[in-house]
Structure 1
Amino acid sequence: MIEMPAPQFVQTNGIRMGYYEAGPKSDAPPVILCHGWPEIAFSWRHQIKALSEAGIRVIAPDQRGYGVTDRPDPVEAYDLEHLTGDLVGLLDQLRIEKAIFVGHDWGGFVVWQMPLRHPTRVAGVVGINTPHTARPPVDPIELFRKRFGEQMYIVQFQKPGHEVDNIFNSRVEQTFDAFMRKPAPRADATPTEPPTAGVGASPTLNLAFPQMIANYDARHDPRTPILSAEEKKVFVDTFSKTGFTGGINWYRNMSRNWQRSAELDYTIRVPSLMIMAENDRVLPPSAADGMEKIVPDLEKYLVRGSGHWTQQEKPDEVSDKLIEWRKKRFR
């Protein structure tokens, strides 16, 4: 198993944030790796090693609500203003003027917001699986409700209380057994395969995700695990301590984020890379169609044979592309 650097800590935006750093401090602009749900900085272990060995300064935080970073109680503390503000505070504390922000899954939504909200701090953006899209014309939760119904997991996450959270909290190993697997071949796709972020998903997918986790049995899952036993233990041990509520609270701010973003210009004005995964059924490559209209300086790259957990399923290919693009655009 790849060893992570020792965690370090900064005070940023009212919280204590843990992060993992490698590579030469003299390298600029550094690469900030932002994980998704339910993940932690450990999800980037392959990229931390590869990029630092290529002479690139790389920093991977446990974001607000995750891992060794603080988990505030108020739901509103997890909106995009806070999440992007945390990253700006991280730069401030490390005396970094600008960085390249790389995000996967929910981390992708955060990093695409960085040049909109904090343009002077962003040198470039990379989305992995998660595309940048224009602001929807209506509240995204209403869109999900109309398209997928009340059982769609993001809609379920809006319910008050922690009833849904506790499905995951009481089944931590079960959750990662279900999530962290390569996708089944399309002809054999099973309705028990868990979805993830929810943008671009086919309406034919079963998105009653909490119920699928509650009924999941790894003994009957033919899909190949992505993680070794030692790697899975890192995730299980971490979320057994923290629970899932911090990350789920990101979803609980989707309406708030939409309401508070009406004045933003959604055009991305920095060099950008979109890494797509051929077999991600919830964030498919087609979700990135038309990105060029609001991301003029965009390169697209398709990782064939990968499902949703691209940087862990195809770590060498993702790392090689990040290194190649970084050196091409910022040397």
Structure 2
Amino acid sequence: MPFLQARTHRLHYADSHPDGSPSDLTFIFIHGLGSSQNYYFPVLPHLTSHYRCITIDTYGAGRSPYTNETVSIPSIADDIIGALDALKIPKAIVVGHSMGGLAATDLGARYPDHVSGVVAIGPVHPSEMLVTVMSKRADTVLESGMEPMANTIPFAAVGSRSTELQKAFIRELVLGQDPTGYAALCRAIASAQPADYAAVKAPFMLIAGEEDKSAPMEGCKHIFDQVSSQKKSLEVLKNVGHWHCIEAADEVGNLLVKFAGTL
């Protein structure tokens, strides 16, 4: 299993074309809380015949070991730049889901020279309610492990079209987390400040779930309206909750192909 070194973090990753991209465009993917790079694998078949796709387990999540460092949204973004440098990729389309959507917009704002485009999937806009929810989650998993999250998230955070198999996949993603790493990422979300949305000028697409309670439409529209990109679009997936790439893999895959075709 391949790992790369990004700053002080050893990150597990997958690379669809380790010998180079079949085109001028490369995608790099940042997953959300309680997830891993595997979240994106249902959409990759739409992309890999034309584009290089890099999927990474965020520090403290999936198979990337947690070593007790404090995590923040900017540190996640900095790790992505470290990964691009390690792989000698000068520029990429950054795709981020939920917590990863925060990091993707932060990348677009702070590292414009490294970003060909930004796709935010169900990005979470920081709020006081989010501080309370994430702080409580951190305490819960440190006390009781991942079971309480695995027994609730796959059922409460999906839309009405989700299947039992999709819920089982989400449950497995959640159960696979290190509780200490998960808690650190909860705190990263709780302490997050809104990215400088207006500084995002690269082509931008926001994909929202019509039934997403974790990243409500109000927050998604706020982010979308604040982004300065001249080329931007807001796509809403019907009957979809917060786990877009699992609940609606074909729609998300097709939207990513369409987005890349405009660059």
| TM superposition score category, shorter chain reference | 0.7 to 0.9
Task: Please list the CA deviations of residues 20-76 of structure 1 after superposition, one character each: whole Å capped at 9, or x if unmatched.
Answer: 1114723332111111011011111112222113x11111100110122121213x2
- Alignment map for 1:297-308 (pairs within 5 Å): 297=230, 298-308=232-242
**Residue matched to 2:20:** 25
On the 8 A contact 1:168/1:175 being kept in 2, the answer is no
**Residue matched to 2:179:** 244
Deviation at 1:236, TM superposition (A): 6.0
**Alpha-carbon distance between aligned partners in 1 of 2:46 and 2:144, rounded to the nearest angstrom:** 32
- Alignment map for 1:27-176 (pairs within 5 Å): 27-53=23-49, 55-74=50-69, 76=70, 78-130=71-123, 140=127, 143-144=128-129, 152-157=132-137, 163-167=139-143, 169=145, 171=147, 175-176=149-150
Classify the secondary structure of the residue corresponding to 2:181. Answer: helix
TM-score (normalizing by structure 2): 0.85
Classify the secondary structure of the residue corresponding to 1:46. Answer: coil
Classify the secondary structure of the residue corresponding to 1:227. Answer: helix
**Residue matched to 2:7:** 13
TM-score (normalizing by structure 1): 0.69
User: 1:227 and 2:212 equivalent?
Assistant: no
Classify the secondary structure of the residue corresponding to 2:60. Answer: coil
**Alpha-carbon distance between aligned partners in 2 of 1:257 and 1:163, rounded to the nearest angstrom:** 18
Classify the secondary structure of the residue corresponding to 2:164. Answer: coil
After the TM superposition, list the runs of 4 or more consecutive aligned residues in structure 1 that deviate by more than 4 angstroms.
Answer: 254-257
* Aligned-partner residue type, residue 179 of structure 1: I
On the 8 A contact 1:98/1:121 being kept in 2, the answer is yes
**Alpha-carbon distance between aligned partners in 1 of 2:143 and 2:160, rounded to the nearest angstrom:** 24
On the 8 A contact 1:13/1:86 being kept in 2, the answer is yes
Unaligned runs of at least 5 residues, structure 1: 1-6, 186-222
- Alignment map for 1:286-301 (pairs within 5 Å): 286-290=218-222, 291-297=224-230, 298-301=232-235
On the 8 A contact 1:10/1:17 being kept in 2, the answer is yes
**Alpha-carbon distance between aligned partners in 2 of 1:317 and 1:88, rounded to the nearest angstrom:** 28
Query: How has the CA–CA distance of structure 1 residues 178 and 265 changed in structure 2, closer, same or farther, with 3 Å as cutoff?
Result: closer
Number of matched residues?
257
**Alpha-carbon distance between aligned partners in 2 of 1:28 and 1:129, rounded to the nearest angstrom:** 27
**Alpha-carbon distance between aligned partners in 2 of 1:306 and 1:254, rounded to the nearest angstrom:** 23
User: 1:317 and 2:251 equivalent?
Assistant: yes
User: 1:253 and 2:188 equivalent?
Assistant: yes
On the 8 A contact 1:28/1:99 being kept in 2, the answer is no
Deviation at 1:285, TM superposition (A): 2.5
On the 8 A contact 1:272/1:295 being kept in 2, the answer is no
Classify the secondary structure of the residue corresponding to 2:94. Answer: strand
**Alpha-carbon distance between aligned partners in 1 of 2:172 and 2:94, rounded to the nearest angstrom:** 24
Query: How has the CA–CA distance of structure 1 residues 275 and 72 changed in structure 2, closer, same or farther, with 3 Å as cutoff?
Result: same
Query: How has the CA–CA distance of structure 1 residues 47 and 62 changed in structure 2, closer, same or farther, with 3 Å as cutoff?
Result: same
Deviation at 1:327, TM superposition (A): 1.5
Classify the secondary structure of the residue corresponding to 2:33. Answer: coil
Deviation at 1:265, TM superposition (A): 7.3
